[in-house]
Amino acid sequence: MALARSVCPYDCPDACGLLVEVEDGRAVRVRGDPDHPYSRGTLCPKMNGYDRTVHSPDRLLHPLVRAGKKGEGRFRRASWDEAIALVAGRFREVAARDGAEAILPYSYAGSMGLVQRNAGMPFFHRLGASRLERTICTPAQDAGWKAVMGATPGPGPDVAVDSDLVVLWGINAVATNLHFVQRVKEARRRGAQVLLVETYANDTARVADRTLLVRPGSDGALALGIVHVLAREGLADEAFLAAETVGWHDLRARALAEASPAAASAVTGLPPAEIEGLARTLAAARAPFIRMGGGPSRHANGAMNVRSVVALAAVLGAFGRKGGGCFTATHSSQAFDLSPLVREDLLPRPARTVNMNQLGRALGELSGPPVRAMYVWCSNPAAVAPDQNAVLRGLAREDLFLAVHERFMTDTARFADVVLPATTSLEHADLYRSYGQYTVQRVAPVLAPLGEAKPNWEVFRLLAAAMGFEEPLFRMSADEVIDLLLAQPSPWRGPGFAARLAEGRAVELAQPAGPRWRTPSGKIELSNPAEPEPLPRILPTYADEGGPPLRLVTAPALHTLNSTFMERPELRERNGGMTLQLSPADAAARGLAEGQRVVAWNALGEVDFVLRVTDRVPPGVAVAEGVWWIAHAPGARNVNALTSQRLTDRGNGSTFYDNRIDVRAQQRGARAAPATPRG
Ligand code: SF4
Residue pLDDT, tens place only, 511-541 = 888 899 999 999 999 999 999 999 999 999 9
The reported pLDDT for the residue numbered 231 is 98
Annotate 356-386 with DSSP letters as a single string.
Answer: GGGHHHHHHH--SSPP-EEEEES--HHHHSS
The reported pLDDT for the residue numbered 264 is 98
532 backbone dihedrals φ, ψ, rounded to 5°: -55, -35
Give the number of the atom of ligand 1 that is nearest the alpha carbon of residue 50: 5
Does residue 670 have a pLDDT over 80?
no
Is any atom of ligand 1 closer than 6 Å to the C-beta of 44? Answer: yes
Q: What is the pLDDT of residues 543-588, one digit of tens each?
A: 999 999 999 999 999 999 999 999 999 999 999 999 999 999 999 9
Does residue 222 have a pLDDT over 70?
yes
Q: What is the pLDDT of residues 81-123, one digit of tens each?
A: 999 999 999 999 999 999 999 999 999 999 999 999 999 999 9
Q: What is the mean pLDDT of residues 39-48?
A: 94
107 backbone dihedrals φ, ψ, rounded to 5°: -155, 160
CA angle 646, 648, 651 (to 5 degrees): 125
Q: What is the mean pLDDT of residues 30-41?
A: 96
Q: What is the mean pLDDT of residues 388-415?
A: 98
Q: What is the mean pLDDT of residues 611-627?
A: 98
Is any atom of ligand 1 closer than 6 Å to the C-beta of 178? Answer: yes
Does residue 678 have a pLDDT over 80?
no
Contact 596, 526 (CB under 8 A): no
Burial of 14 (0-12, 13-18, 19+ CB in 10 A): buried
Does residue 254 have a pLDDT over 70?
yes
Give the number of the atom of ligand 1 that is nearest the alpha carbon of residue 179: 3
Q: What is the mean pLDDT of residues 414-443?
A: 97
Is any atom of ligand 1 closer than 6 Å to the C-beta of 47? Answer: yes
User: What are the start-end ranges of the H helices in 447-487?
Assistant: 456-467, 478-486
Annotate 215-266 with DSSP letters as a single string.
Answer: -TT-HHHHHHHHHHHHHHTT-S-HHHHHHHEE-HHHHHHHHHHH--HHHHHH
Contact 127, 91 (CB under 8 A): yes
Closest by Cα among 101, 100, 84 to 92:
100
Measure Cα distances from 649 to 270, 294, 333, 653 in Å: 24, 15, 23, 8
- Expressed in angstroms and rounded, the spacing between residue 546 Cα and the centre of ligand 1 is 38
Give the number of the atom of ligand 1 that is nearest the alpha carbon of residue 44: 4
Q: How much of the chain is in helix, strand and coil states, percent to nearest 5?
A: 35, 20, 45
Q: What is the mean pLDDT of residues 405-415?
A: 98
Contact 402, 374 (CB under 8 A): yes
Give the number of the atom of ligand 1 that is nearest the alpha carbon of residue 15: 7
Is any atom of ligand 1 closer than 6 Å to the C-beta of 84? Answer: no
Contact 447, 25 (CB under 8 A): yes
The reported pLDDT for the residue numbered 343 is 98
Contact 59, 408 (CB under 8 A): yes
Measure Cα distances from 515 to 55, 237, 289, 312 in Å: 49, 21, 22, 22
The helices-and-strands tally (H runs, E runs) of the chain is 23, 27
Is any atom of ligand 1 closer than 6 Å to the C-beta of 8? Answer: yes
Q: Taken in order 121, 17, 562, 72, is the CA torsion positive or negative?
A: positive
CA–CA gap between residue 81 and residue 104 (Å, rounded): 22
The reported pLDDT for the residue numbered 520 is 97
pLDDT band at 669 (very low <50, low <70, confident <90, very high): low
Give the number of the atom of ligand 1 that is nearest the alpha carbon of residue 46: 4
Mutate to test the pocket of ligand 1, among 12, 42, 52 (most ligand atoms within 8 A of CB): 12
Does residue 233 have a pLDDT over 50?
yes
Contact 240, 516 (CB under 8 A): no
- Expressed in angstroms and rounded, the spacing between residue 440 Cα and the centre of ligand 1 is 15
Percent above pLDDT 70 for the chain = 98
- Expressed in angstroms and rounded, the spacing between residue 44 Cα and the centre of ligand 1 is 5
Is any atom of ligand 1 closer than 6 Å to the C-beta of 50? Answer: no
CA–CA gap between residue 550 and residue 604 (Å, rounded): 15
Element holding 124 (H helix, E strand): helix 120-127
Q: What is the pLDDT of residues 430-487, one digit of tens each?
A: 999 999 999 999 999 999 999 999 999 999 999 999 999 999 999 999 999 999 999 9
- Expressed in angstroms and rounded, the spacing between residue 32 Cα and the centre of ligand 1 is 10
Burial of 668 (0-12, 13-18, 19+ CB in 10 A): exposed
Does residue 667 have a pLDDT over 90?
no
CA–CA gap between residue 16 and residue 436 (Å, rounded): 11
- Expressed in angstroms and rounded, the spacing between residue 14 Cα and the centre of ligand 1 is 6
Measure Cα distances from 198 to 130, 217, 276, 454, 553 in Å: 38, 10, 18, 42, 11
- Expressed in angstroms and rounded, the spacing between residue 45 Cα and the centre of ligand 1 is 8
Does residue 675 have a pLDDT over 70?
no
Q: Whose CA is nearest to atom 1 of ligand 1?
A: 12
List the strands of the sheet with 17-23, edge to edge.
2-7, 17-23, 26-32
- Expressed in angstroms and rounded, the spacing between residue 16 Cα and the centre of ligand 1 is 6
Rg (CA), the chain: 25
- Expressed in angstroms and rounded, the spacing between residue 418 Cα and the centre of ligand 1 is 31
Report the first-to-last Cα separation within the chain, whole angstroms: 56
Burial of 561 (0-12, 13-18, 19+ CB in 10 A): buried
Q: What is the pLDDT of residues 131-178, one digit of tens each?
A: 999 999 999 999 999 999 999 999 989 999 999 999 999 999 999 999
Does residue 593 have a pLDDT over 70?
yes
Q: Whose CA is nearest to atom 4 of ligand 1?
A: 44
The reported pLDDT for the residue numbered 328 is 96
The one-letter code for the residue type at 260 is S
Does residue 396 have a pLDDT over 80?
yes
Closest by Cα among 107, 60, 99, 55 to 80:
60
- Mean pLDDT score of the chain: 96
pLDDT band at 332 (very low <50, low <70, confident <90, very high): confident
Is any atom of ligand 1 closer than 6 Å to the C-beta of 14? Answer: yes
Q: What is the pLDDT of residues 336-371, one digit of tens each?
A: 999 999 999 999 999 999 999 999 999 999 999 999
The one-letter code for the residue type at 307 is R
Pairing relation of β-strands 605-613 and 210-213? unpaired
The reported pLDDT for the residue numbered 494 is 84
CA–CA gap between residue 661 and residue 603 (Å, rounded): 8
pLDDT band at 674 (very low <50, low <70, confident <90, very high): very low
Does residue 677 have a pLDDT over 50?
no
Mutate to test the pocket of ligand 1, among 42, 47, 50, 203 (most ligand atoms within 8 A of CB): 47
- Expressed in angstroms and rounded, the spacing between residue 177 Cα and the centre of ligand 1 is 8
Mutate to test the pocket of ligand 1, among 7, 33, 46 (most ligand atoms within 8 A of CB): 46
Is any atom of ligand 1 closer than 6 Å to the C-beta of 15? Answer: yes
